[in-house]
Amino acid sequence: MQLVSKYCALELEEYGKCVQSNPSDWHLKCKEHKTSVSECSSSHPVVQKIKSDCGKEYGVYDKCLRANTNQVEECIPALETFMQCAENASEHLKKSWNSTQDLKKKQNTSATKV
């Protein structure tokens, strides 16, 4: 979630304002903002990893929001589950990326010695 916030802050802010301004019918009035967040986030590799690893968790959260449009606080447990999954996915990708960078450094060091 932090990565989406980092790379799509404006889109998230606008979506949040819309939801806050339309508590009873945000799911109808904020579709355009939700689409903007989705489009922005879908282009980032970490967000793509989260989508692939945590689609089920997000689906549960999204379904909860749709079922509880006037009581979104009911969805906090589903949101927390999704956020934990997303954190795990982004950490996994970060470790994988760091390993790849370390390997490239070793290869470059070996090549310069030859």
pTM of the model: 0.54
Measure CA of the first residue to CA of the last residue in the chain; give whole Å: 44
Cβ atoms of residues 40 and 75 within 8 Å: no
Question: What pLDDT shows up at residue 59?
Answer: 94
**What is the predicted pLDDT for the residue at 96?**
79
Q: Which amino acid is at 105?
A: K
Domain ranges for the chain:
1-43, 44-114
Q: How far apart are CA 1 and CA 14, in angstroms?
A: 16
Please give the Cα distance from 80 to 57 (Å, whole number).
Answer: 9
pLDDT score recorded for residue 93: 83
Q: How far apart are CA 100 and CA 114, in angstroms?
A: 21
